[in-house]
Chains A and B, each alone.
Chain A
Amino acid sequence: MLLVLSAEHRAHLGCLPRAGDAAVGELGRLALEQLRRGAAPRACEAAARKLNIGIDTIQHGVEGLVYLLTESSKLMISEIDFQDSIHVLGFSDELNKSLLQLYLDNRKEIRSILGELAPRLPSYHSLEWRLDVQLASRSLRQQIKPAVTMKLHLNQNEDQTAQVLQTDPATLLHLIQQLEQALGEMKMNHCRRIVRNMK
């Protein structure tokens, strides 16, 4: 699958051949830092001074690289496709090779960063449980009412929430049976076939 680069994108990356090899390495590093930690205008200024290039050019170059790397990692394009996609920019072979290396070295990390942006439901963290027996209440004395009290810990966008729930023994056994069925589904032929064929 080929990456389609817009005219603006190509213009941004157009500064790379003029900048020289050292600059390309520096811009690559800045692009990765921007992906990890967000935009850093001061670092761009420092690079602009060191390489003797205008700050606007540096920033455009960094942004262009960021976009190139994120789109390639997102689509997980192969080496050949990546090379063919940047071929249209008309860079030298050496520059193409450095860009390819930059992509291959960092795509796993970029994919894990992108993975954290996906929409997420609250996810399971852990469960604590406790066995209780209710002996009396305001409306009835001398009872024996067993119950299981649980504290369900969930993660929601880096917040941990705890929910206190209670069930009776019959429902507990029903829950266990249903969830075991759910686990069993993963091992069925249908799921295995789909997982195998969709790699």
Chain B
Amino acid sequence: ILDDPDLKEIDPTVLKHCHAAAATCILEAGKQKADISAISACLEDCKLDKERIEQFCTEYQHRELVTVVSFSIGRSPLHVTDVSWRLEYQIKNNQLHKTYQPSYLVTLNVENSDSGSHSDVSFSCTMEQLQDLVGKLKDAAKSLERATQM
């Protein structure tokens, strides 16, 4: 805003205050999911004239982006985004030959909402353990389905 030629006449401090005030107003309105009448009432209390209130509300109608951004802000535990797996058949190691064991190596790709970093959780499991894991995940999915039908 500070570089906008139309606004060069105005004192930069005042500009910043106005910008901050407008942004806060939009965020709060979005947070509370306030409707147009509520916003108009609030702005009237702030002694804005009718024309400006109407302009503000029209601009506010394009607020979908704000809701989306607010939706994604917030803390949550590590979020799983993807899974990779590897099936291997162990033949020998330096302590024991002829082991002949199949095993799975599963890696869960995890995103941390705070730092946006990727730390991954890796673990190995046998076929039975993987079946147990898949069974439990399917139970979770089934109860999700039932919950949506309620």
Contacts and interface: CB of A to CB of B under 8 A. Distances in A.
Given A138-B74, A147-B76, A176-B134, A74 B121 contact: no
A135 interface: no
A122 interface: yes
Given A117-B95, A191-B87, 17 more contacts: A74-B95, A76-B97, A121-B105, A123-B123, A123-B125, A124-B125, A127-B132, A129-B137, A131-B140, A164-B77, A165-B121, A180-B134, A182-B104, A183-B131, A186-B127, A194-B89, A195-B89
Given A123-B124, A147-B76, A182-B104, A111 B96 contact: yes
Interface string A178-199: 1110110110000100110011
Given A124-B129, A182-B85, A145 B71 contact: yes
A146 B102 CA distance: 36
Contacts of A163: 78, 121
A140 interface: yes
B97 A75 contact: yes
A183 B127 contact: yes
Q: Describe A's contact surface by its main secondary structure.
A: mixed
B138 A176 contact: yes
B95 A139 contact: no
A46 interface: no
Interface string A93-106: 00000000000000
Contacts of A117: 95-96
Nearest to A187: B127
A140 B124 CA distance: 39
Q: Describe B's contact surface by its main secondary structure.
A: mixed
B122 interface: yes
A117 to B, nearest CB: 4
Interface stretch (B30-38, B40-48, B50-58): B30-38
B7 interface: no
Given A167-B79, A183-B130, A198 B140 contact: no
Interface of A: 74-76, 111, 114-115, 117-124, 126-127, 129, 131, 137-143, 145-150, 152, 154, 163-169, 171-176, 178-180, 182-183, 185-186, 191, 194-195, 198-199
15 contacts: A117-B96, A120-B124, A121-B122, A124-B123, A167-B81, A168-B79, A171-B82, A174-B83, A178-B83, A178-B85, A182-B104, A183-B127, A186-B87, A186-B102, A198-B91
Interface in B98-127: 98-100, 102, 104-106, 108, 110, 121-125, 127
A47 B142 CA distance: 64
A139 B30 CA distance: 9
B10 interface: no
A179 B83 contact: yes
Contacts of B138: 176
B141 interface: yes
Nearest to A155: B123
B96 A118 contact: yes
A11 B31 CA distance: 84
Given A118-B95, A182-B104, A137 B134 contact: no
B2 interface: no
